[in-house]
Structure 1
């Protein structure tokens, strides 16, 4: 299993969740505070998921670079 590919799919999923939450936030701006609060919390969660997946990609690239340096 390739961690970079897995992280890529995780980033795509987090981006879709963030977009959906942003649409809900805009739609609820006219009134319901509970929906706005939930949408904001969902956006924060999606942001954290995206950041975690970016760290996975960085770590995998560093590991691959180290392996290539060892083999060189």
Structure 2
């Protein structure tokens, strides 16, 4: 299992969820729009938190790899 690849995928997925919610909010004023502003704000907040968590995992995995290389050299 590659934590860097997993974190990158998680960041991509979170960014996609955030973009989808933003697009729904942007269409809110259109006729026949079924936008639920409350749910979209919650989706954006969750996506932001997920992106940050995956970025933290990515930084930690990078630091651990660097520390391992320092120990081996």
Q: Which 4+ residue blocks in structure 1 deviate beyond 3 angstroms?
A: none
TM-score (norm 2): 0.88
Q: Structure 1: 5+ residue runs without aligned partners?
A: none
Larger helix fraction of residues? 1
Partner of 1:54: 55
Q: After superposition, where does 1:20-35 map in structure 2 within 5 Å?
A: 20-28=20-28, 30=29, 35=36
SS in 1 for 2:36: helix
Measure the CA separation in 2 of the matches of 1:40 and 1:9: 22
Measure the CA separation in 2 of the matches of 1:61 and 1:13: 20
Measure the CA separation in 2 of the matches of 1:55 and 1:4: 11
Instruction: After superposition, give the CA deviation of every residue in 1:41-66 in whole Å (9 maximum; x if it has no partner).
Output: 10000000000000000000010011
Q: Structure 2: 5+ residue runs without aligned partners?
A: none
Q: CA RMSD in A?
A: 1.6
Measure the CA separation in 2 of the matches of 1:52 and 1:43: 14
